[in-house]
Amino acid sequence: LRADQSVAGLVITMRDVTERRRLERELTHQPFHDSLTGLANRVLFADRLDHALARGARDGSVVGVLFIDLDDFKIVNDTLGHAVGDQLLIAVADRIAGALRADDTAARLGGDEFAALVENVQDPGAVEETATRILAALAEPILVDGQELQAVASIGITTTPEADTAAELLRQAD
């Protein structure tokens, strides 16, 4: 249009959609992630577990589920308060996620219960190694509001050689 002699000017309309895009991303993130820790929630974990089982059935790889429960977490909430308990849960979530590989999924199922999905491994021993890494990560004291807290966890482990459905894997790991 600039080369056209009859055009004397151009009108450009612009709109900043940054905030709208941020809200859209947040709205698609919320239904599948825990609001406190940012980890996958039970719905997303179940979906990823179903996909992992289908992939494992096709390629023969092992799928493992770790059920992680913090021991005596209620004492932290009762003696130090829920704000400290929340900070402890956030720190534990970060450590669990940090102990996993990029292919794995960490989730908070509710309260002080977490889960990890280990997929694309050929040996059930790799799932046990993941549990060992998580326990090692949680063994270090966690500093919350100037206090050193210890996150002691119990981990239940199961793999596809022991169970072949998502519900069965979760039940056995629990």
* Residues recognised as catalytic: 112
3-state secondary structure (DSSP) of residue 72: coil
CA distances (Å), origin 131, targets 23, 25, 55, 114, 138: 36, 32, 22, 12, 11
3-state secondary structure (DSSP) of residue 22: helix
Distance from C-alpha of 110 to C-alpha of 124, rounded to nearest angstrom: 26
Contacts of 65 (CB under 8 A, 6+ apart): 49, 115, 116, 117, 118, 157, 158, 159, 169, 170, 172, 173
Distance from C-alpha of 92 to C-alpha of 137, rounded to nearest angstrom: 9
Q: Which two tokens stand for residue 168?
A: 């069965």
Place of tokens 């849960």: 89
